[in-house]
Structure 1
Amino acid sequence: MEYSVNTRPLLQQDSDTENDDIVTQTYEENVVVKDDKPLFRPPEPQDRYNMAYIIFYILGITTLLPWNFFITADDYWMYKFRDVNSNLSTFGDQKQRTTLQAEFTSYLSVASSVPNILFLVLNTALTHKLSLQKRVVGSLLAMAVFFIITTVFVNINTDTYQDVFFGITLTTVVLLNVSSAILSGSIFGIMGKFSSKYITATIGGQALGGIFAAISQIVALAIGASSVHSAFVYFMVGNVMILLTLVSYVILSKTVFFKYHLSEKMGLTLNEFQSELVRPRIIDHKVIFKKIWMYGAGVFLVFFISLSCYPGLTVLIESDTHGKPWNGNYPDNTINLF
């Protein structure tokens, strides 16, 4: 097949002999295959030993750790807010509970849910002011501090100032859930940059956290530990878990695998890269809301209805077979899977 190639210099003036500058050359017919590989895409790093997967699982457990451990330690709260002038058991008739015993779980639910929802929304504003590293590490450090305060109060006699302790506990719960919301929002905010495998790990970790807290209570009750000693074990496990999560995240953030997926410019073609340089970063929240409002409404209704009843109302319900070995030693509210 013959092709005509113009070899005339670019700045040469036109002349009547223009066609003389056209040289006919002969080329062999070749098959041209388009290269689909992006210009700037380096080899994708591997998740060695599934380390990132395991750490995302741990992060998922920790996001709901305050909620799971506080509602699991119901025996401890009933002991702290008992009638100190009465010899009645804290697990007696519901009508014999003190006002603080009867109302604490409802207050706990509100003190957990309201700040959690508010700061999940406000977390979107923090993304432009605080880096991911500061938000995750800062929220984990704050959670550790508040859990340590809660652990210290386990071995302090608060019988003479139960109302003050009630207020301190709820304040701690609010601050814990503020930190938890920032951590959760930050982690799920970057999940879209990873494959569905790691999203599943984080969500699975949240479910495992509830089961883990319930198993901890069952073991404590099985060995006959008192409510105070059981609570001390719960909160110490929580402290260790937060510390483990903090160390794990710092290690993860330094890996090439993590940095690769968080880099916004990785994997762009030349044209896309040039477009990113000149195109303003405008986020249209209306468009986003139109795409997710049905899913958001469904999730909101599920959590609103569930948390309206659980644990504030369900904790007050006693089994018809209460008094038998299993129901007597392991109350119905032991299995907290939310």
Structure 2
Amino acid sequence: MAFTESSLLLPSVSGTNKNKNKVPEDKWYLAYIVYFTLGLGYLLPWNAFITAVDYFSFLYPDASVDRIFAVVYMIVGLVGISLIILYSHKSDAYVRINVGLALFVVSLLVVPLLDAFYIKGRVGFYSGFYVTAGAVGLSGVADALVQGSIVGSAGELPDRYMQAVIAGTAASGVLVSALRIFTKAVYPQDASGLQKSANLYFSVSIVIVFLCMVFYNMVHKLPVMKYYKELKVEAVTANEDNGPLTGPVWRSTVWNIVRRIRWYGFGIVLIYVVTLAIFPGYITEDVHSQILKDWYPILLIAGYNVFDLVGKCLTAVYLLQNAKVAIGGCIARLLFFPLFLGCLHGPKFFRTEIPVTILTCLLGLTNGYLTSALMILIPKIVMLQHAETAGIVSVLFLVFGLAAGSVIAWFWVI
């Protein structure tokens, strides 16, 4: 099924719409850049917490830091996204995004302030760990507010803006990998070096999230954004004859949206079940290199992130419109399990750096392209007035896939 960029965003042509055939130009790609930056920004806080796990593990040696952080973040995210879906018709995306970005800044400030005034680099102060875990939970709340709302609002716009958001999330991984390589090369891997690395991650994240706040509050003034906002208002107004979307009517509407996009959602869940079952656990724990030593997992993770970004940018060049093919591609990714298994227990050549690197890059490339394709297509198969909700529901599928993949990674012993 083929979709044009604007046809599915337009309500039925009326006297009002006839004078609005000319879409304002996105001059200098400002709106695109803003949505790319927002995608970059809302994933950075989580990346900061998880990339600084070496420092947290040094401070709290008896705590399973990465697993506890993941559980807290995923549970809070799932509950938060679910609540937003149920009550999105009663709240405004503009408010949710601004509140979420503010909460991101607060959660990111907790760690450096806690370290400066209480922990001071000392080991074993577990009350600090509980506060840090609370900051991770607060970041999860912020992520639910921002990610769901950004993806939802991008769903009301042409394809390129959803592609910008999804590509931005991949750029977040590339940025963090670059920072990780820089800190490993520059700082010693002792208490002081780990502390400086962590502070750098959080400082960069705070600056970028603050920029997101500024950019987001400016983007609504652009003519192209005003144009598409007016289209949505017209679509919602035209639908008011069917009665207000409250109570059972709204729940029924949400359920109909879920049923409409369920196979797309299944594809997204499957993408992240496969990816998270392998990456980063397998990459960081199960494969080793006598040549690259402790640089090996860092470079593999960087390779994955770069190709994930490449995949998410490719949809700007060619977007796969056939949903069956895209979902079939998600199922075909199950082949990564036996292939990576072969890199651990197969012939000697398979256990060398080249096959593992190629497979890791392919894992990132397919993850990026298929995620971007499905996330772009989902809002386009519902009416414009429901595109935001469809986008938020797609985030619920994505977060569920992340959570399921993380759980499987615990039990899948290669």
Give TM-score, length-normalised by structure 2. 0.61
Alpha-carbon spacing, 1:159–1:251, altered in 2? closer, same or farther (3 Å): same
Bigger shift: residues 303-312 or 218-227: 303-312
CA contact (8 A) 2:39 2:164 kept: yes
Whether 1:61 and 2:40 are equivalent positions in the alignment is yes
- Indicate which of 45, 52, 59 corresponds to 2:31: 52
Residue 109 (structure 2) aligns with: 148
- C-alpha deviations, 1:142-196, integer Å up to 9, x for none? 1101101122234442536532122111111011011111100001111222111
Residue 288 (structure 1) aligns with: 257
Bigger shift: residues 125-134 or 54-63: 125-134
- C-alpha deviations, 1:31-68, integer Å up to 9, x for none? xxxxx974213342221110000000001111211221
Q: Find the residue that maps to 1:235 and give its secondary structure.
A: helix
Distance in 2 (alpha carbons) for counterparts of 1:150 and 1:220: 18
Identity of aligned residues (%): 25
- Indicate which of 210, 218, 221 corresponds to 1:251: 218
Residue 16 (structure 1) aligns with: none
Distance in 2 (alpha carbons) for counterparts of 1:160 and 1:73: 15
- Indicate which of 219, 228, 241 corresponds to 1:261: 228
Residue 114 (structure 1) aligns with: 75
Across the two proteins, how many residue pairs are aligned to each other?
277
Residue 239 (structure 1) aligns with: 206
- Indicate which of 170, 173, 179 corresponds to 2:133: 170
CA RMSD of aligned residues (A): 2.7
Alpha-carbon spacing, 1:228–1:318, altered in 2? closer, same or farther (3 Å): farther
Deviation, structure 1 residue 327 = 2.6
Deviation, structure 1 residue 333 = 4.7
Which AA in structure 2 matches 1:191? A
Residue 332 (structure 1) aligns with: 297
Distance in 1 (alpha carbons) for counterparts of 2:170 and 2:126: 33
Distance in 2 (alpha carbons) for counterparts of 1:151 and 1:68: 15
Distance in 1 (alpha carbons) for counterparts of 2:281 and 2:114: 23
Deviation, structure 1 residue 306 = 4.1
Bigger shift: residues 214-223 or 283-292: 283-292
Q: How does 1:76-115 map to 2 (within 5 A)?
A: 76-81=55-60, 98-100=61-63, 103-115=64-76
Distance in 2 (alpha carbons) for counterparts of 1:296 and 1:37: 31
Give TM-score, length-normalised by structure 1. 0.73
RCO comparison, higher one (Cα < 8 Å, 6+): 1
Whether 1:200 and 2:185 are equivalent positions in the alignment is no
Residue 142 (structure 2) aligns with: 179
> Structure 2 unaligned runs (5+)?
1-11, 309-414
The structure whose Rg is larger is 1
Alpha-carbon spacing, 1:126–1:266, altered in 2? closer, same or farther (3 Å): closer
Distance in 2 (alpha carbons) for counterparts of 1:311 and 1:167: 25
Distance in 1 (alpha carbons) for counterparts of 2:240 and 2:159: 29
CA contact (8 A) 1:146 1:172 kept: yes
CA contact (8 A) 1:66 1:176 kept: yes
Bigger shift: residues 133-142 or 69-78: 69-78
CA contact (8 A) 1:57 1:204 kept: yes
Q: Find the residue that maps to 1:99 and give its secondary structure.
A: coil
Bigger shift: residues 285-294 or 200-209: 285-294
- Greater helix percent: which structure? 2
Q: Find the residue that maps to 1:58 and give its secondary structure.
A: helix
Deviation, structure 1 residue 138 = 0.6
Deviation, structure 1 residue 319 = 1.9
- Indicate which of 75, 80, 89 corresponds to 1:128: 89
Residue 319 (structure 1) aligns with: 288
Alpha-carbon spacing, 1:107–1:309, altered in 2? closer, same or farther (3 Å): farther
CA contact (8 A) 2:104 2:139 kept: yes
Distance in 1 (alpha carbons) for counterparts of 2:72 and 2:244: 36
